[in-house]
Structure 1
Amino acid sequence: MKLCAVQLASRKGDFEANLARHQHCIEQAAAQGAGLVVFPELSLTGYEPTLARQLALPVNTPRLAPLQALCDRLGISVAAGLPLPSANGVLIGMPILRPGQAPLAYAKQRLHADELPFFAPCDQPFVFGGGEHQIAPAICYESMFIEHALHARELGADLYLVSVAKTAKGVREGYEHYPQVARNLGMPVLLANCVGPADTFIGAGGSAAWDRQGNLLAALDERQEGLVILDTAAQTASCKVLDLGRV
């Protein structure tokens, strides 16, 4: 199976502009043969905690219909980032759209301290099927705790799908941690990070893929918008830089 991590600069609070950029990236990923695409944390709104409450949408919102239609047409699954409302507060969510099926949703379980004023944690671990894989999504901070990946492995996951909004420091720490996850738990790791302004920091890119032995297969730099394509059967990966300036 081929999976794709999208490295993207989201437009602050602009759902419609970000939706158009997502559609373009999904089409490009499908052209590369990807069966599943993952975007950075809160990609549809940008990582903007102070705006999250006003931007939150349920996973069955009609505003995601264009993405669902694209999934149906291309036969591709998409894991995007979106604040999700809940009875306990706004969640850092990941709608998962699949061709011809109802959407799923995952939400971040472990929050960083500076996220607590704006978001509520979720308490539901989650693994979903994608092709021949059982896939565990992980959202940024929680992915830096081996316990999260270990619990997912116990639930049957064989691939770790990481969606983040990380600074340069966070990327460096991730490049130390994610190979250990892959090597110790025997499952590939695919990382999607943002680039450009986000909240009070600059997204540092570095989206990458590691094989199940922890070897770095491919990575984008800190500036490029683009795709990392992981072929799990061949244990290979490649990058494609995208020009999204007009999208």
Structure 2
Amino acid sequence: MRIGIVQTSAKKGAISLNIKNHLNLIKSALPSKPDLIVFPELSIIGYEPELAKKLACTIDDERFNSFQAIANTNKLTIGIGMPTQSKEGIKISMLLFPPHKARLIYSKQLLHDDELPYFVSSNNQVFLTIKEKKIAFGICYEALQWEHFIKAVENKVIIYIASVAKPERGNKKAYVHLPSIAKEFKIPILMSNCVG
């Protein structure tokens, strides 16, 4: 299986521009024939909690149809970061576009304290199976929480992907925590971070 982990910079709140940049990055990866491409946390608006309520979307938002089309044509699953609307409130989510299947949403389950004024947590874990390999996702803060990773292990995942928006200080923690649990459980952990 080939997995593309994208590290990109988002223009604050500029959904159309960020979608265009995402699509260009995906197209540049297509010659490598990836099975999965994952972007950082909230990659479509940038990590901008104060804009999340205004910019949040639903899974069927037509602005993302191009992602589904590329997924279908290239037998590729794409994961992008976007705030989503729910009856409980706004969630930090990864929109997943599997080829020729319904779109999926994985929403962050464990929120950092400074996210609580803007977002609500989710309670369902979404797993992907690609080429008979089960994959779990963690979004930023929760990827550093032991219980989140253990839940993935209990569900027999063999790859864990962290989609994050971490500054240098957060990276230092991730660079200690993620390799240690990857080694202990013999599960590869990949991290997609924003840049800039």
Instruction: Name the TM tier (shorter chain).
Output: over 0.9
Structure 2 regions of 5+ residues with no counterpart? none
Counterpart residue identity of residue 149, structure 1: F
Local SS of the residue matching 1:80: strand
Are 1:126 and 2:126 matched, yes or no?
Answer: yes
Give CA-to-partner distance per residue, 1:164-196, whole Å, 9 cap, x none: 000001011100011112112221111000012
Structure 1 regions of 5+ residues with no counterpart? 197-247
1:138–1:160: 8 Å Cα contact kept in structure 2?
yes
Q: Which residue of 2 aligns with 1:97?
A: 97
Are 1:13 and 2:1 matched, yes or no?
Answer: no
Aligned partners of 1:160 and 1:88: how far apart in 2?
A: 27
Local SS of the residue matching 1:192: strand
Are 1:154 and 2:149 matched, yes or no?
Answer: no
Local SS of the residue matching 1:161: strand
Aligned partners of 1:48 and 1:82: how far apart in 2?
A: 10
1:42–1:92: 8 Å Cα contact kept in structure 2?
yes
Local SS of the residue matching 1:7: coil
Aligned partners of 1:190 and 1:24: how far apart in 2?
A: 22
Local SS of the residue matching 2:13: coil
Q: CA deviation at 1:161?
A: 0.8
| Larger relative helix fraction | 2
Q: CA deviation at 1:83?
A: 0.3
Q: CA deviation at 1:4?
A: 0.9
| Larger relative strand fraction | 1
Counterpart residue identity of residue 44, structure 2: L
Are 1:181 and 2:185 matched, yes or no?
Answer: no
Aligned partners of 2:108 and 2:84: how far apart in 1?
A: 11
Aligned partners of 2:181 and 2:32: how far apart in 1?
A: 27
Aligned partners of 1:126 and 1:20: how far apart in 2?
A: 26
Moved over 4 A (4+): none
Q: Give the TM-score normalised by the residue count of structure 2.
A: 0.97
Local SS of the residue matching 2:6: strand
Q: CA deviation at 1:70?
A: 1.1
Local SS of the residue matching 1:191: strand
Instruction: Give matches, 1:32-71, under 5 Å.
Output: 32-71=32-71
Aligned partners of 1:127 and 1:181: how far apart in 2?
A: 19
Q: CA deviation at 1:30?
A: 1.9
Q: Which residue of 2 aligns with 1:212?
A: none
Aligned partners of 2:85 and 2:21: how far apart in 1?
A: 23
Local SS of the residue matching 1:92: strand
1:80–1:96: 8 Å Cα contact kept in structure 2?
yes
Aligned partners of 1:75 and 1:25: how far apart in 2?
A: 16
Q: CA deviation at 1:125?
A: 2.0
When the two structures are aligned, how many residues end up with a matched partner? 196
Aligned partners of 1:125 and 1:72: how far apart in 2?
A: 24
Greater mean alpha carbon deviation, residues 178-187 or residues 94-103: 178-187
Fraction of identical pairs, as percent: 37
Q: Which residue of 2 aligns with 1:194?
A: 194
Q: Give the TM-score normalised by the residue count of structure 1.
A: 0.78
Give CA-to-partner distance per residue, 1:104-125, whole Å, 9 cap, x none: 1100000011100000011112
Give CA-to-partner distance per residue, 1:138-181, whole Å, 9 cap, x none: 00000001211111111121100110000001011100011112
Q: Which residue of 2 aligns with 1:145?
A: 145
Aligned partners of 2:128 and 2:35: how far apart in 1?
A: 14
